[in-house]
């Protein structure tokens, strides 16, 4: 392989995706090529950082998501107006110096990464309460999702059982509240299972506040929709 | 340039959703998370930074500190651990909050990559597929998988740098 081919193989090498023969070839090249060594060193920390994201979460990120833009609530802007007069007095060399020093710091991610994988969490000694409601959503194409809503002190747990997904793709379950806003409660990839997928979703809404449930495909098209109450 | 309502609105627009996602993984309710995010934005605005470079990292750090403070106030309450079931377990102390921060920052970095680059990282790193297996599954030549992995790591590195994280 040429130098350029070796260089382009470095990503797959760092990610552990090359076969034994290619791995040996890349390592032999690294021993003699300072440029590729420097490139590989730049990648070295990335796998450990990627491990901060659990596999199931990473898989759910596979479909492209549009960046979310949030609109500032009026109450926040009112606070700004109220404090602006006071704040003007605070501006000056000292405040600017503090801000500049703080901004240089950045987020020290290294020490917070947990390369050993998920942290052990003591199992909650709580008995599972019975679902408060059960629904079945089905589409014309034969997609069927059974949903059971379980009340939790933080909101609602959704027990989902999904069958008949069409081909490979990432599906998601959305719930809406009384204000008509939709929130993703769970997502899963249909390529990783055969037949039925059983998973758990979550929303901060109380079961009584949930007004609708939707199953969406990768392109965010609703496959099945249900209105409650 | 002095920061005013417009600057605060811009901060909220650009960073609000990501900060809320982080705070929500650590505190009990949407409202609490929202309050913490607003307080963090107000604090940063009060410092009147003259540049927005590294602002996200600083906002994350401020949200993190507010959450830690919150837990110190609640230290006498009994600890109950429940799972949010979206991959996040509730964070109850600074160490766990930092783990959560690392996770949220990395998720955001992954989301900023192109779908092709993200797909390559998911196939090789998370699903432990070989280049040959990934090529077959994605229906592209082996060389394409290799170059996507290379450029995905390049892009990830510069995304993290933009976000104020030193890989």
Each residue's pLDDT tens digit, A19-45: 999 999 999 999 999 999 999 999 999
Q: Is A91's pLDDT higher than 60? A: no
For the segment A157-167, the average pLDDT, to the nearest whole number, is: 77
A43 in contact with B, Cβ within 8 Å: yes
Cβ-based neighbours of B39, under 8 Å, separated by 6 or more: B66
Is the pLDDT higher at A33 or at B92?
A33
Coil vs helix vs strand at A64? coil
Quote the CA–CA distance of A38 and A40 in Å, as a whole number.
5
The highest-confidence range among A162-166, A195-199, B146-150, by mean pLDDT, is B146-150
d(CA A155, CA A211) in angstroms, rounded, equals 14
Q: Using CB atoms within 10 A of its CB, is residue A123 exposed (0-12), middle (13-18) or buried (19+)?
A: exposed
With 90 as the cut, is the pLDDT of residue B129 above it? yes
A97 touches chain B (CB under 8 A): no
Who has greater pLDDT, A192 or B145? B145
pLDDT at A126 over 80: no
* Best mean pLDDT range from A145-149, A225-229, B76-80, B128-132: B128-132
Predicted interface score ipTM higher than 0.90: no
Establish if A95 touches chain B: CB-CB under 8 angstroms: yes
**B13 and A71 in contact by Cβ < 8 A?**
yes
Across A155-164, B11-20, B43-52, B157-166, least confident range: B43-52
- Averaged pLDDT, B111-140: 93
Q: Do B16 and A55 touch (CB under 8 A)?
A: no
Of B13 and A87, the structure prediction assigns the larger pLDDT to B13
Question: Is A146 within 8 Å of A161 (Cβ atoms)?
Answer: yes
Domain ranges of chain B: 1-112, 113-167
Would the CB atoms of A204 and B145 count as touching at under 8 Å? no
The architecture in CATH of the region B113-167 reads Orthogonal Bundle (1.10)
Residue in A112, A199, A204, A206 to test binding to B, most B beta-carbons within 10 Å: A112
**B105/A46 Cβ within 8 A:** no
Nearest to B106 among A52, A100, A108 (CB): A52
Say whether B153 and A111 touch across the interface (CB within 8 A): no
Chain-chain contact of B122 with A112 (C-beta, under 8 angstroms): no
In whole angstroms, give the CA distance from residue A71 to residue A202: 24
pLDDT bucket at A127, cuts 50 / 70 / 90: very low
pLDDT band at A49 (very low <50, low <70, confident <90, very high): very high
C-alpha–C-alpha distance, residues A70 and B20, integer Å: 10
**CATH 2.60.40 domain span(s) along chain A:** 133-227
CA dist list (Å): A75 to A143, B9, B22, B39: 43, 11, 21, 11
Please state, in angstroms and rounded to a whole number, the distance separating the CA atoms of residues A22 and A28: 10
Q: Please list every residue in chain A whose beta carbon sits closer than 8 Å to the beta carbon of residue B110.
A: 50, 53, 58, 61
Three-state DSSP state, B18: helix
pTM: 0.53
- In the CATH scheme, what is the code of domain A133-227? 2.60.40
**Model pLDDT for residues A59-88, shown as the tens digit of each residue:** 888 775 545 567 777 777 777 776 655 444
CA-CA distance, A40 to A7, in Å (whole number)? Answer: 9
Mutation target vs A (from B100, B113, B131; most A CBs, 10 A cutoff)? B131
Residue B142: per-residue pLDDT: 95
């Amino acid at each position: 392989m040429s130098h350029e081919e070796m260089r382009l193989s470095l990503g797959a090498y760092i990610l552990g995706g090359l076969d034994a023969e290619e791995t040996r070839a890349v390592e032999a090249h690294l021993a003699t090529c300072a440029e590729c060594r420097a490139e590989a060193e730049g990648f070295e920390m990335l796998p450990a950082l990627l491990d901060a994201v659990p596999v199931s979460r990473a898989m759910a990120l596979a479909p492209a998501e549009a960046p979310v833009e949030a609109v500032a609530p009026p109450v926040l802007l009112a606070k700004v107006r109220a404090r602006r007069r006071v704040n003007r007095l605070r501006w000056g060399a000292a405040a600017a110096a503090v801000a500049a020093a703080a901004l240089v710091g950045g987020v020290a991610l290294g020490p917070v990464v947990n390369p050993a994988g998920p942290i052990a969490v003591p199992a909650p000694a709580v008995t599972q309460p019975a679902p408060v409601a059960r629904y079945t959503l089905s589409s014309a194409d034969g997609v069927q999702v059974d949903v059971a809503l379980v009340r939790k002190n933080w909101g609602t747990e959704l027990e989902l059982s999904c069958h008949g997904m069409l081909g490979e793709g990432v599906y998601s379950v959305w719930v809406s509240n009384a204000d008509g806003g939709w929130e993703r409660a769970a997502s899963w990839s249909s390529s990783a299972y055969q037949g039925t997928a059983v998973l758990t979703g979550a929303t901060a809404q109380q079961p009584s506040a949930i007004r609708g449930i939707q199953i969406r495909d990768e392109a965010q098209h609703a496959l099945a929709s249900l209105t409650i109450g | 340039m002095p920061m005013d309502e417009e600057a605060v609105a811009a901060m909220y627009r650009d960073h609000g959703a990501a900060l809320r996602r982080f705070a929500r993984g650590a505190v009990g309710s949407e409202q609490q998370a929202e309050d913490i995010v607003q307080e963090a934005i107000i604090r940063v605005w009060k410092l009147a930074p003259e540049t927005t470079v590294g602002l996200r990292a600083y906002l994350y750090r401020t949200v993190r500190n507010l959450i830690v403070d919150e837990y110190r106030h609640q230290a006498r309450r009994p600890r109950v651990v429940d799972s949010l079931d979206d991959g996040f377990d509730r964070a109850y102390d600074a160490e766990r909050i930092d783990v959560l921060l690392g996770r949220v920052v990395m998720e955001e970095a992954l989301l900023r990559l192109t779908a092709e680059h993200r797909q390559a990282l998911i196939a090789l790193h998370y699903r432990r597929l070989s280049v040959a297996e990934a090529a077959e599954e994605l229906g592209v030549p082996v060389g394409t998988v290799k170059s996507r992995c290379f450029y995905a790591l390049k892009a990830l590195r510069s995304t993290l740098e933009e976000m104020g994280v030193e890989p």
